[in-house]
Amino acid sequence: MGKIKQEKPDTDLDTTVVKEEDTYDEKLRNVNAISQPMASKKLTKKIHKLIEKAAKHKTYLRNGLKDVQVRLRKGESGLVVFAGDVTPVEIMCHLPAVCEERNIPYCYTPSRKDLGAAMGVKRGTVAMLIREHPEYQDLYDKLKTELSTLPIPS
């Protein structure tokens, strides 16, 4: 009595799951009430490009709530980008006031998953601090002026 080999079923069928990407407007439905000033669709794309460039340099992109809080408290400056779809809001609702106090431009983007994807990781992130670097100085300066002109909520 020997072992009987069982044949595996045919796996010719394509079983990959294709998840459709949400549009910008659909992502805006998930944002919090405090997510102001919100970056426009065009500005969000520019921010993602800057994040991709900054992620190539080790200390020029700070991500995560705790790291951004520490760096702001220690006096680091740059551009701060927050995710708008964070729950609970209380974990980060104090950071915009800190940015305004220190004259650091900031804005919200609709999705934390997109922020993580722009950085090159699969996990989303709540907050990012982008420091200036000579390699992407022109894009950094453009975004800094655009973020400075966004209306700050009262």
Within a domain: 142: yes
The per-residue pLDDT for 8 is: 67
Model-level pTM?
0.84
The per-residue pLDDT for 89 is: 93
The per-residue pLDDT for 152 is: 82
The per-residue pLDDT for 11 is: 54
The per-residue pLDDT for 18 is: 53
Distance CA 28, CA 133 (A): 31
Within a domain: 154: no
Please identify every stretch of the chain with a pLDDT value under 50, giving residue numbers as ranges.
none
The per-residue pLDDT for 153 is: 80
Within a domain: 6: no
The per-residue pLDDT for 35 is: 92
Name which of 36, 20, 51, 23 is nearest 109 in CA terms.
36
Within a domain: 121: yes
Domain boundaries, position 111: 33-149
Say which residues have a Cβ less than 8 Å from residue 30's Cβ, sequence separation at least 6: 84, 85, 110, 111
Within a domain: 1: no
The number of distinct structural domains making up the chain is 1
Within a domain: 92: yes
The per-residue pLDDT for 1 is: 64
CATH number of the domain that 88 lies in? Answer: 3.30.1330.30
Within a domain: 58: yes
- Could you tell me if 37 and 150 are in contact, meaning their C-beta atoms sit under 8 angstroms apart? yes
The per-residue pLDDT for 6 is: 74
Helix (H) or strand (E) segment spanning residue 129: strand 127-130
8, 90, 102, 134, 136 from 76: Cα distances, Å: 58, 23, 10, 17, 18
